[in-house]
Structure 1
């Protein structure tokens, strides 16, 4: 049976990860994507609060109706955790109401993926400015996740993040591992990682979770589907 998980994606940067992952997963999975309005491309708190606003997401949910989705994911880590735990919870509740199907966001996808893997100590390799990266660490701490190392590359725009090369990504993530970390998290959906999942895990010798990877896994989790391939360490994993 084919399942369809829709994604709301702000602006244009690494959206091509989603058709790439759709092709890698196969197995009757469709991953349509709608670009939501980004009035300002900036990893800055005020801009991120605007990017993740209820009006923006409701408009995106309406555009997804033509795809007859079974679930929807707000594919923006910073545009969800910046609201804090309670605010991000309300955000996905309102998105579910607007879409008429189960909903989640990339921030909660990271939390649930860590629970599924039984991991509690992580390093974070964030492309964001330091203050935004710190908010992600705070969001994880709300679920009892210990961030033993937090790195910030300081990139302001998603557009610039999307231009980072394969070598850039591999070196950045590997360079910000920590011996005490059970996994490394890479929390920006603007970063191309779909074709790097196995390479990242092999290079670091531990699980690496990236934003677009966990977003797709979370969407499939919402509809009770497991991806047997294409999602790195999350392939074959499903939280009930």
Structure 2
């Protein structure tokens, strides 16, 4: 993603986990404050402008308020603004102006339902869900693009404005454009949104069509152009002209 997004440095600190299973209790342990704070020194030495906890269920299982408390604790520990992947998903859905989403989940039905409740707390409706019920992050990471496409297509609904793939273990970075071509609508993936959330916190912008519509460059309206003739200046704004 650093290659796709020129002039953006993405520092990754890997949190240590003894169990990468997708059981709810194991996922909750990944987001414990002391575990997240363990990488503070490395991130500070790297000069990080902001920090995003790159986990789906390790954040949203704490609930809407709990996810914000988790991010606030991380911000206090590192000394810069902080957020998480699920909070970034909410911001990204709002940025795209979407109202209803479809959820393509690698988690169990129970964990997926917790994500739907998290979205509901953010006033985001869910058109439908598909839960693959994988056993671990390692299993999700082993999926190839074809299986990711199958999951996204299975989750999609005609009434959904956007399809969400919240799991950061899935290898989706750089494939968002292809997924959107398949589904004919925006697709938000865990890793894509994690980076976008960091850029939002750092008040920076970056563009790459391969990362989907979320990273598509927004064209600014044309600036007024002075056209000289007949000894008078005429200003054109694209909606007509007037004499001065």
Instruction: Give the TM bin, normalised by the shorter chain.
Output: 0.7 to 0.9
Distance in 2 of aligned mates of 1:173 and 1:181? 12
Q: Deviations over 1:70-125 (max 9, x none)?
A: 00000001000000011111100000001111100001000000111110101100
User: 1:25, 1:231 within 8 Å by CA — same for their partners in 2?
Assistant: no
How far is 1:236 from its partner?
Answer: 4.7
Q: Deviations over 1:8-38 (max 9, x none)?
A: xxxxxxxxxxxxx111011x11001010011
Give TM-score, length-normalised by structure 1.
0.88
The 3 A distance-change label for structure 1 pair 170 and 161 is: same
Higher relative contact order (CA 8 A, sep 6+): 1
SS of equivalent to 2:38: helix
- Aligned-pair Cα RMSD in Å: 1.2
Question: Are positions 1:227 and 2:202 aligned together?
Answer: no
Give 1:174's aligned residue.
153
Give 1:184's aligned residue.
163
Which of 218, 221, 224 is residue 197 of structure 2 equivalent to? 218
Q: Deviations over 1:159-199 (max 9, x none)?
A: 01000011111122112210110110001000000121100
Which of 18, 23, 28 is residue 44 of structure 1 equivalent to? 23
Distance in 2 of aligned mates of 1:205 and 1:145? 20
Q: Which runs of 4+ in 1 moved over 4 A?
A: none
Q: Any gaps of 5 or more consecutive residues in structure 1? A: 1-20
Question: Are positions 1:130 and 2:109 aligned together?
Answer: yes
Give TM-score, length-normalised by structure 2.
0.86
> How many correspondences in the alignment?
217
Give 1:57's aligned residue.
36
User: 2:108, 2:133 within 8 Å by CA — same for their partners in 1?
Assistant: yes
Give 2:172's aligned residue.
193
How far is 1:234 from its partner?
Answer: 1.2
Q: Any gaps of 5 or more consecutive residues in structure 2? A: 219-244
Stretch deviating more after TM superposition (213-222 or 39-48): 39-48
User: 2:64, 2:122 within 8 Å by CA — same for their partners in 1?
Assistant: no
Larger radius of gyration: 2
